[in-house]
Chain A
Amino acid sequence: MDIITQLQEQLSEIAMVAVNTFGTLQRDAPPDRLSSSYPDPLNPNPKPEEDAKPQVPAQPGAAPAQVQPPPAPPQPPALDLAEHPKAMSHALVLAAKRFDALVAALPLSSEEDQLKRIQELQAENEIVGLELQKQLEAAELELKQVEVLFNEATDNGINLKKPD
């Protein structure tokens, strides 16, 4: 793939990683405590209360900022909450670095340089084309001469052959 397409693909990858990061964090974020008058949703009380989990709307990105290790809930969510942002931000920075590397690999030159080079190449192409044509014509001429000589030689050969 040419480098500009690679750059464009890398750009979409950065966008995708960013969007996935925020989406995953928002989806997996645990509910946040609104105020001390409400019971803590992360800390379920000994006496079960059905209405004790105030769901805060759109509380994303708070997962990495919150340091409330839930005592009872199972282990995997706690690990995910810490690992996910790290892994995803790692991916984001990696994608951005790759973009920079691709930018550094761009073979850029000014427009005048390119146009000058094109004109030079066109002139050289003309010259080489003329030379090629000359050689071709000379070679075809020689081929015809050789054919004529060959025909003569074979005719003489046939004429000189002693009839049996």
Chain B
Amino acid sequence: MATSAYPPPPPYYRLYKDYEQDPSSAPEPPPPIDGNYKVFGVEREINEVLPSLESRQLYPKGPNIDFKKQLRTLNRELQLHILELADILVERPSQYARRVEDISLIFQNLNHLLKSLRPHQARATLIHMLESQIQRRKQAIEDIKQRREEAQKLLGESLLVLDGSQTN
């Protein structure tokens, strides 16, 4: 694998020299990858799932998690722990490590919750895209209908004009 600091661009551009004249002379774009792939030396899968928190999970597991409530609860816990840390630093400064660990655990849980909301966001984006596509298609149908009607009207008028001039 070539690992230079500033690698040159890939040489595929040469294959597209005659694209303007003959679009079929250039190769097709590569098909979507199936299975695992390598990026910068790291191997990844195509359907990456979020690894679970296992024993370090603070919020209750289960099929339906009330995200808003859990996020708010964890936020309050976080504030309490920060306050606790301040107190500990005043009274027993040498015991800060445990509190700092707790705070970082709470942050991990919060981030895990937020990341697990991403699939929901993806579905919502899909819904939005479908809705806007339906909207555009309906608009196009209306436009076409309108134009056809106009064309029919014009044809009818021109027919009347021709008939009128014929009978003259």
Contacts and interface: CB of A to CB of B under 8 A. Distances in A.
A118 B86 CA distance: 49
Contacts of B86: 22, 61
A149 B114 CA distance: 64
A132 B68 contact: no
A43 interface: no
Q: How large is the interface on B (under 10, 10 to 19, 20 to 34, 35 or more residues)?
A: 35 or more
A8 B111 contact: yes
Nearest to B113: A7
Given A8-B111, A11-B111, A117-B127, A128 B141 contact: yes
Interface string B37-67: 0000000000000000000000000001001
B153 interface: no
The DSSP consensus for interface residues of chain B is helix
B137 A128 contact: yes
B133 A125 contact: yes
B89 interface: yes
13 contacts: A4-B114, A4-B117, A8-B114, A22-B86, A59-B93, A61-B86, A61-B87, A61-B89, A96-B78, A125-B130, A125-B134, A131-B141, A139-B147
B138 A128 contact: yes
Interface stretch (A34-42, A44-52, A69-77, A106-114): A106-114
Contacts, number: 101
A62 interface: yes
Interface in B87-118: 87, 89-90, 93, 103, 107, 110-111, 114, 117-118
B64 A110 contact: yes
A129 B68 contact: no
Given A8-B114, A99-B75, A118-B123, 6 more contacts: A11-B114, A18-B103, A22-B85, A92-B79, A106-B68, A108-B67
Interface in B117-149: 117-118, 120-121, 123-124, 126-127, 130-131, 133-134, 137-138, 140-141, 144-145, 147-148
